[in-house]
């Protein structure tokens, strides 16, 4: 499948390292996708924690850094991690926002279980074990939730909590009733469900127009709306979520973009773009 993101190289194609080629041919049980935009200050710690955890697991894995056109040292950090361990993959993408980066990373993933998580690991990487367990038990989609019994929010600014609750009321009213947290940046899919949901999405599926600065949107709502529409089994996984300084969320413009995306989901459905 042509993902449409990689720069075209009209010279001689680079030859993969033998160990990288061998890894590419192996069965991958778990793929972890980390979208990253200008994350040089946090990415080294994130990659160290994620690879240490995954390396201790009994299954095969890959870690994909979906680099959203970063302008700092993020590409160098990701490339160095890829060179050190062929199970780490660096996708160098044009800057089109988090949603486009997640789409590209998931489409490139080869795992039987595909998880995407934020670059600050505000939801600990150890929850991958719960996602894998729930997928193996028969669920198609597992979403981290910061609401309900067993969930915890640590250090979240009051204004962000209020904004999130107001936004969720709108989301439940228009798109996915009963799901109390669509925006937690930790979600998992079976490989088949990932292909089904991301392949059916309209918002940001081919990348938005080039943007400036961070771009946080409501693309998660479309994914969950499609999962429901396709009759997929969705599990809500209570998580401990910790607010980390340096968030890319802009309270004003991003809130408007997220509301716009919820309306676009309903409009796309009304027009029949998501099928029956």
> Cα separation of 254 and 244, whole Å?
18
Note the pLDDT of residue 10. 36
Note the pLDDT of residue 159. 72
pLDDT in tens, 122-172: 999 999 999 999 999 999 999 999 998 999 989 877 777 777 788 888 888
pLDDT in tens, 217-231: 789 999 999 999 999
Note the pLDDT of residue 254. 64
Residue 90 lies in a domain: yes
Residue 128 lies in a domain: yes
Note the pLDDT of residue 256. 78
- Tell me the pLDDT band of 44, cut-offs 50, 70 and 90: very high
Residue 7, pLDDT above cutoff 50? no
Cα 184 vs. chain centroid, distance in angstroms?
Answer: 10
Exposed, middle or buried, 110 (CB in 10 Å: 0-12/13-18/19+)? middle
Q: Please name the residues in contact with 122: beta carbons below 8 A apart, sequence gap of 6 or more.
A: 185, 241, 242, 243, 244
First to last CA, the chain: 25
Q: Is this model's pTM higher than 0.75 or not? A: yes
Residue 229 lies in a domain: yes
Q: Please name the residues in contact with 77: beta carbons below 8 A apart, sequence gap of 6 or more.
A: 40, 43, 44, 47
Note the pLDDT of residue 131. 98
> Cα separation of 178 and 13, whole Å?
49
Of 14-28, 94-108, 203-217, the one with minimum mean pLDDT is 14-28
Residue 21 lies in a domain: no
Residue 142 lies in a domain: yes
> Cα separation of 132 and 202, whole Å?
27
Better-scored residue on pLDDT, 43 or 26: 43
> Cα separation of 5 and 21, whole Å?
21
Note the pLDDT of residue 81. 98
CA distance readout (Å), 132 to 27, 106, 139, 206, 247: 16, 16, 10, 28, 27
Residue 88 lies in a domain: yes
Report residue 275: phi and psi, to 5°.
70, -165
> Cα separation of 204 and 201, whole Å?
8
Residue 41 lies in a domain: yes
CATH number, domain of 118, equals 3.90.550.10
Which domain covers residue 258, as residue numbers?
26-270
According to DSSP, residue 111 is labeled -
Mean pLDDT estimate for the chain: 86
Do the Cβ atoms of 141 and 229 come closer than 8 Å? no
Residue 6 lies in a domain: no
Residues involved in catalysis: 220
For the chain, the domain total comes to: 1
- Among 59, 67, 80, 73, smallest CA distance to 135 is for 59
């Amino acid at each position: 499948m042509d993902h449409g993101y990689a720069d075209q190289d009209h010279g001689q194609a680079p030859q993969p390292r033998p160990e990288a080629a061998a890894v590419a041919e192996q069965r991958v049980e778990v793929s972890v996708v980390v979208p990253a935009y200008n994350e040089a200050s946090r990415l080294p710690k994130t990659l160290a924690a994620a690879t240490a955890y995954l390396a201790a697991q009994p299954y095969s894995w890959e870690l994909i850094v979906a680099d959203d056109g970063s302008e700092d040292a993020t590409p160098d950090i990701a490339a160095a991690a890829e060179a050190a361990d062929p199970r780490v993959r660096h996708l160098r993408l044009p800057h089109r926002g988090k949603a486009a980066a997640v789409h590209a990373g998931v489409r490139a993933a080869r795992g039987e279980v595909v998880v995407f998580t934020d670059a600050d690991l505000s939801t600990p990487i150890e929850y991958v074990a719960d996602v894998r367990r729930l997928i193996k038990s028969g669920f198609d989609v597992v979403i981290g939730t910061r609401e309900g019994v067993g969930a915890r929010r640590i250090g979240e600014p009051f204004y962000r909590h209020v904004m999130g609750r107001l936004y969720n009321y709108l989301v439940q009213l228009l798109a996915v009733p009963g799901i109390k947290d669509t925006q937690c940046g930790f979600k998992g899919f079976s490989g088949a469900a990932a292909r089904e949901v991301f392949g059916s999405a309209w918002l940001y599926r081919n990348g938005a127009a080039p943007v400036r600065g961070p771009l946080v949107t409501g693309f998660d709502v479309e994914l969950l709306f499609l999962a429901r529409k396709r009759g997929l089994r969705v599990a809500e996984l209570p998580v401990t979520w910790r607010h980390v300084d340096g968030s890319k969320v802009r309270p004003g413009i991003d809130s408007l973009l997220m509301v716009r995306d919820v309306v676009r989901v309903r409009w796309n459905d009304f027009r029949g773009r998501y099928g029956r």
